[in-house]
Chain A
């Protein structure tokens, strides 16, 4: 069974600074996806970044990047130049390659507050 653990319930960062959110996961599978989702007060889950496990290169999307350590089963999210709009709950999630097991397994989330 897959599990996802986020050990930081809350974090805060000053505007324009950099923050890293931690995530570890466990799976016996070799092929899977990893995701970071953002959930603002509007409730909609918004995809921030995704990583395919077979790709060694860390994914990057503008100010967001990941540090994917497959052997350690670690998938941290770095947010550079933090903006007030980054304030939200952040969820780490994993998914197998589809089919009947292609659902998302979420961590409990990290509440990020960006302070002016």
Chain B
């Protein structure tokens, strides 16, 4: 069984630019969630996708958007990057009811300069 893979692993962007992060879910999982983890903090929930629709959102502005594809992979898009967007972005996949928990990828480290 394949786990969750994220790409790229590291990324440097300039303030005001746009970025797309990618995630492939674990086999058998159809729900994908994205989290932002600032340095020294716990992850914060951005949003969740189920059946290609956004299915729950945390306290993040609309410039954070996403997509889920028929194969359950997902993208996180961030427009108009700000310095505070610098963080580790984690993707997690699960079944709709997380009976067995969530499987995380290794994250994308985004640095905005």
Contacts and interface: CB of A to CB of B under 8 A. Distances in A.
B104 A45 contact: yes
Nearest to B56: A100
A35 interface: yes
B104 A103 contact: no
A9 B95 CA distance: 31
A104 B91 CA distance: 12
Interface residues of A, number: 27
How big is chain B's contact interface, by range?
20 to 34
22 contacts: A33-B98, A35-B102, A43-B88, A43-B109, A44-B105, A44-B107, A45-B102, A47-B103, A50-B101, A91-B43, A97-B97, A98-B96, A99-B56, A100-B48, A100-B55, A102-B31, A102-B48, A103-B56, A104-B35, A106-B44, A107-B42, A108-B42
A106 B104 CA distance: 14
Contacts of B109: 43
